[in-house]
Copies of this chain bind each other. A is one copy, B any other.
Amino acid sequence: MKKWQGKCSVVLRPASTKEVSQIMKHCYARNLAVVPQGGNTGLVGGSIPVYDEIVISLGRMNAVESLDPVQGIVTVQAGCILEQLTSYLDAYDLTAPLDLGAKGSCMIGGNIATNAGGLRYVRYGSLRGTVLGLEVVLADGTVLDSLTSLRKDNTGYDLKQLFIGSEGTLGVITRASILCPRKPTSVQVLFLALRTYDEVLRAMKLARTHLQEIISAIEFQDIESLNLVLKHIPGARDPLPERSAFYMLIETSGSNASHDAEKISEFLAALEKEDLLVNGTLAESEKQSQELWKLREAISESLSKEGYVYKYDVSLPVAQMYNLVEKTRMRLQNATAHVVGYGHLGDGNLHLNIVCPKADNDVLSLLEPWLFEQLKSYRGSISAEHGLGQAKNSFIYYSKSPESVRLMQQLKHFFDPKGILNPYKVLPPN
């Protein structure tokens, strides 16, 4: 992100929950602040020390501990890399309930601490439903064992939910049990070109009708984002004969390849009938699927190569999503900037990115707080999946009421009275 640089002098690498607990006891007694760190792939500076906080890196706690293959429930240590978990599950015909671009380095503990969304969210839903149990070390070193491996357990308050998405400010996640779906036997990837955002929405509606239970991703990107990928990413190539204003990537995951193929044919026929399709391609091999996915997944990397990126990850009603991109483009019309829109269409989650040749305070002052005010008017979220970290914590009031923020601050004080867990993050300065 070229934005944050940590300057701590101590990194601790515990190998067990007991060691994490000992570290926290020590730090609690001496008022030492810590930053829990997983794969360090976050985009809001949440895992980077602001001053001289001690980094607790969970990377050595990387074991998959157990699996119930009947129910598909895996118990895993926080430092396990997402891709390694997915590979492990593969042998049991299971898969992880989440997938994201950073899978090769992000860790499951960090995924949970940030309530990561990603590419399969539209199918498998939130980690709040699929994380069944957590083990967490609290500020004073107490080990909170909520590591049940049950699909259902209504005995008292669901404490683990507080730690999901709290970005390491309430406790250090050390182990988790996760409900894993069956690995689909048939996966198909479609890449479609469309003329207008309105037609993208109509195509999504048809996809939901014809592909319903087999949809595993509905992504979209505009021509600007495709152009940047083709410019910067080695090996990326346009699979279609001519450019169009909008693209959709639709993935299906099912148990019967011929049924899925039939459903896709019906979907494509419906698109043609309504004259929505400019062009499109259906991957015919695993390699082609990966190439199509790359056009979507490599956008973020290509933006960084183009210049300095102002990155916004927002939620708003899906019908208004591209309006916001166009309004931003209008607002920056006199600046040297690419305004790029892409994201998880099926979830109403827009990645709005602005690329400038270099950091540019004039652009920034046009963007903030204007953009947050826009989102507030839509009752949207200023951070759909990336969290707040140290980048967006000051802007929390654009998405949350004063009563809510006050309660959060009180809860923070309740769990971390000395303020040693990932300070200066998530909540606004007092």
Q: Evaluate contact between A385 and B213: CB separation under 8 angstroms.
A: no
Q: Evaluate contact between B126 and A212: CB separation under 8 angstroms.
A: no
Closest to A412 in B: B157
Q: Evaluate contact between B396 and A155: CB separation under 8 angstroms.
A: yes
Q: Which of B68, B159, B426 is A404 in contact with, Cβ under 8 Å?
A: B159
Closest to A124 in B: B125
- A182, CB-defined interface residue at 8 Å: yes
Residues of A within 8 A of B (CB): 68, 70-71, 114-115, 117, 121, 125-126, 128-130, 142-146, 148-159, 161-162, 164-166, 170, 182, 184, 201, 204-205, 208-214, 253-256, 259, 262-263, 315-319, 344, 347-349, 379-388, 392, 396, 399-401, 403-405, 407-408, 410-411, 414, 426-427
Q: Evaluate contact between B159 and A165: CB separation under 8 angstroms.
A: no
Count of this chain's copies in the oligomeric assembly: 2
The distance in angstroms between the C-alpha atoms of A23 and B241, with both chains bound, is 66
The distance in angstroms between the C-alpha atoms of A170 and B407, with both chains bound, is 13
Closest to A72 in B: B208
The distance in angstroms between the C-alpha atoms of A254 and B255, with both chains bound, is 13
Q: Evaluate contact between B115 and A154: CB separation under 8 angstroms.
A: yes
Q: Which of B142, B212, B387, B400 is A182 in contact with, Cβ under 8 Å?
A: B212
Q: Which residues of B contact A151 (CB under 8 A)?
A: 121, 315, 347-349
Shortest CB–CB separation between residue A128 and chain B, in angstroms? 5
Shortest CB–CB separation between residue A126 and chain B, in angstroms? 5
Q: Evaluate contact between B210 and A255: CB separation under 8 angstroms.
A: yes
Known pairs A68-B317, A155-B388, A348-B71; A381 contacts B148 (CB<8 A):
yes
Known pairs A129-B125, A256-B263, A403-B143; A154 contacts B148 (CB<8 A):
no
Task: Please name 20 pairs of A and B residues whose Cβ atoms are closer than 8 Å in the assembled complex, sorted by A.
Answer: A70-B319, A117-B152, A117-B154, A121-B151, A125-B125, A126-B152, A128-B158, A145-B401, A145-B403, A150-B348, A150-B379, A154-B383, A154-B386, A154-B388, A156-B396, A159-B408, A162-B162, A182-B209, A184-B212, A259-B262
Shortest CB–CB separation between residue A264 and chain B, in angstroms? 12
The distance in angstroms between the C-alpha atoms of A154 and B121, with both chains bound, is 14
Q: Evaluate contact between A157 and B408: CB separation under 8 angstroms.
A: yes
The distance in angstroms between the C-alpha atoms of A159 and B263, with both chains bound, is 40
Shortest CB–CB separation between residue A164 and chain B, in angstroms? 7
Closest to A146 in B: B404
The distance in angstroms between the C-alpha atoms of A401 and B146, with both chains bound, is 8
